[in-house]
Structure 1
């Protein structure tokens, strides 16, 4: 019952319905349609940190665009005033997916295309767009079905690796949701493009990927090991409940086993939850130690006050490296810590429990060693990320007149 109430509270059906009425009565054309689930409103100002720099580019160059925001039904999230809620249509899509018999369609993608065609003719008949940019491959089948002439792009929002089934199947194929919907990828750097090409058995990604880079806040490599605070980025997001609960137990054992070390050295562990953390996965036991606390502030503030970062495989590795803060990747049960060194050449090898303690001791006792590895991770960040390139963005979306 609580989830149903929460779902209704999160919806913005009125404004979403008016959007449909508008696109029944009047033609509306855009160069770009941006689409994303509302849980991506996770920046310090509760905005979509991935798309905001792209909006700014569009504003500077008079590129017309529309922002559509998908509701999150299972928890409260910040909704954008700038975006049009997609709630009304989203619920219709969910209902039609449920009631339309699968036996009448060749596969899910044909069914999705059928739903899109019906919704377009009934509710969005006068909405026109040249390009669609989404996050996390959201609704790519629907938008491909709406207009097969429009180009669809997925903008990278995390790391890409050979076993990431969102981009590479177990058989080293391009997944159907990308291939069948002719999805193009907008990537952070050449590094990720090379991984996609190397670990798939076709030329698809050679011709459907564009390295546009990422907006990067410039930070000086300014760290201070005397701060004695350690940021621990949690990966408990509800994707795999059994794994998440086990991680809480594993981290608890680590804290209990090494509590004397942290207390004796005056160290404090600041835990930062994953943006998609759900309260149903209780992690409160992690904050019952004298040397631990849950940090509710921004990631920038957390990093500003820490000299070491620990994680199982959070992409905060990159945020820390941008400031010269070394990350100790914990190689424990179900961790993907190995990815960073095997595929991205991270300069510090993954560590087990005891070696993490050994590395922290080394940093405390040998400031020169800490300084050296701080420089290495700072340089590594610049290897992995390319600053946002406007011209490549324009060219990818077939807007060459803007790029000139």
Structure 2
């Protein structure tokens, strides 16, 4: 043994937080196609899973728990001088880990998501390529990515490269980057989310409500989202319509949904998102990424968003229409809307390009 690891050499280290285990087998769907590509092309890899002690999501049986190292990193962060910036702390901790627990492990590439532990890995290996896989939507004022036309310092300092899902995202990043960093350091590899045959040919009276109640918002913002949703549901006069509530993966339970779920026409949504799309032919949300996933299946979304600073789909992505529930009862209008949203989403989410991903690896 050498540290806690047997001496190993890997082409790729995959690292992600536990709450991304959203697949039917408790896998990270954002990584599954990348891992399969490595298997098919004979690239050696290992997968580390960061624990999230605040959630009850299941662990991935095919990933190595990073629990001990994660707790050690938290403790070491607290021991460093409080005046030291967060990135410098993490790089120094990474250097320490490279001489201890990781001293017999070598790797050429790191693939992360949500920029998890990027400075730690930069400290462990100053020469590796660090890729960050896009999850959710990226826009010109996305925290940790682009702020006021400049890439986040963490991206620049760690020499990170972004793996994007579609050409329109890359174009959006380039057009809003004064430094032109993303022109050469962002790459379109596509996504596991793909364009499919239309799920529905008419409005079946079932509506998926993709909720956005998380700690990303203040309590006041979450309450405003709830009140706005209650208004939409209570103003619906068609008793044949059923609303299915789908929690955000990081739902914080600070918002009480008991009153909503007590209504006759409101029910919990299926756990699996594919089952949700099979069941529901229309979606309501404030700004969930599921707008894109639904669109690729030809399912239109009604945007109900009282928070102007989160109005991404109108401000940055030019969502193709703004209609009310009653409009979709017209079968011809529904079909036209299905084709329209699917075409719109396709430039943001293309099919996974295995060759491009493999060629990027060092």
Interval of TM-score (by shorter of Structure 1 and Structure 2): over 0.9
CA contact (8 A) 2:224 2:306 kept: no
Query: Which of 324, 327, 339 is residue 362 of structure 1 equivalent to?
Result: 327
Q: What CA distance in whole angstroms lies between the structure 2 residues aligned with 1:111 and 1:100?
A: 7
Name the SS for the 1:160 alignment partner: coil
For the residue of structure 2 that corresponds to 1:31, the secondary structure is strand
Deviation at 1:228, TM superposition (A): 1.0
Q: Partner residue of 2:321?
A: 348
- Structure of greater Rg: 1
Per-residue deviation, residues 345-397 of structure 1 (Å, max 9, x unmatched) = 32113xxxxxx5xx221221x22111111111122222221111111102221
1:158 to 136, 140, 146: 136
* 1:53 match: 33
> For 2:77 and 2:60, how far apart are their aligned partners in 1?
27
1:334, CA displacement in angstroms? 4.6
Q: Match for residue 238 of structure 1? A: 215
TM-score for the superposition, normalised by structure 1: 0.85
Change (3 A) 1:346 1:127: same
1:208 aligned residue (157, 176, 185): 185
**Separation in 2, partners of 1:331, 1:110:** 38
Q: Does 1:378 align with 2:352?
A: no
Structure 2 residue aligned with 1:181, among 150, 154, 158? 158
**More helix by proportion, 1 or 2?**
1
- 2:200 corresponds to: 223
Q: What's the CA shift for 1:217?
A: 4.5
Counterpart Cα distance in 1 of 2:33 and 2:95: 32
- Aligned position for 2:66: 86
SS at match of 2:150: coil
Deviation at 1:44?
A: 2.4
- Find the partner of 1:333 among 289, 293, 307: 307
Specify the alignment match of 1:63 in structure 2. 43
Find the aligned partners of 1:71 and 1:179 in 2 and give their Cα distance.
Answer: 27
**What is the DSSP-based 3-state SS (H/G/I as helix, E as strand, rest coil) of the residue aligned with 1:290?**
coil
Any stretches of 5+ residues in structure 1 without a counterpart? 1-17, 350-355, 399-404
Change (3 A) 1:226 1:191: closer
**Distance in 2 between the 1:66 and 1:160 partners?**
27
Map 1:281-360 to 2 at 5 A.
Answer: 281-334=255-308, 336-337=310-311, 339-349=312-322, 359-360=324-325
SS in 1 for 2:136: coil
Decide whether the 8 Å contact of 1:252 with 1:285 is kept in 2: no
Deviates more, 1:218-227 or 1:151-160: 218-227
Rounded to whole Å, the distance in 1 between the matches of 2:274 and 2:338 is 17
**Which residue of structure 2 aligns with residue 9 of structure 1?**
none
Cα contact 1:34–1:66 (8 A) shared by 2: yes
How far residue 46 of structure 1 moved from its aligned partner, in angstroms, is: 1.9
Question: Does structure 1 residue 75 correspond to structure 2 residue 75?
Answer: no
Distance 1:144 1:122, change over 3 A: same
Contact 1:30 1:130 in 2 (8 A): yes
- 1:208 is displaced (CA, Å) by 0.8
Partners of 1:285 and 1:127 lie apart in 2 by: 53
The alpha carbon displacement at 1:226 in A equals 5.1
> Hey, what's the Cα distance between the residues in 1 that align with 2:342 and 2:92?
49
Query: What is the TM-score with the length of structure 2 in the denominator?
Result: 0.95
Higher relative contact order, chain-length normalized (CA < 8 Å, sep 6+): 2
> Is 1:30 equivalent to 2:27 in the alignment?
no
Unaligned 5+ residue runs, structure 2?
Answer: none
Q: Which runs of 4+ in 1 moved over 6 A?
A: none
* Kept in 2: contact 1:167–1:196 (CA 8 A): no
Residue 342 of structure 1: how far off its partner (Å): 3.5
Counterpart CA distance in 1 for 2:325 and 2:203 is: 12
Residues matched between the structures, number: 361
Find the aligned partners of 2:309 and 2:337 in 1 and give their Cα distance. 22
Which of 236, 254, 262 aligns to 2:238? It is 262
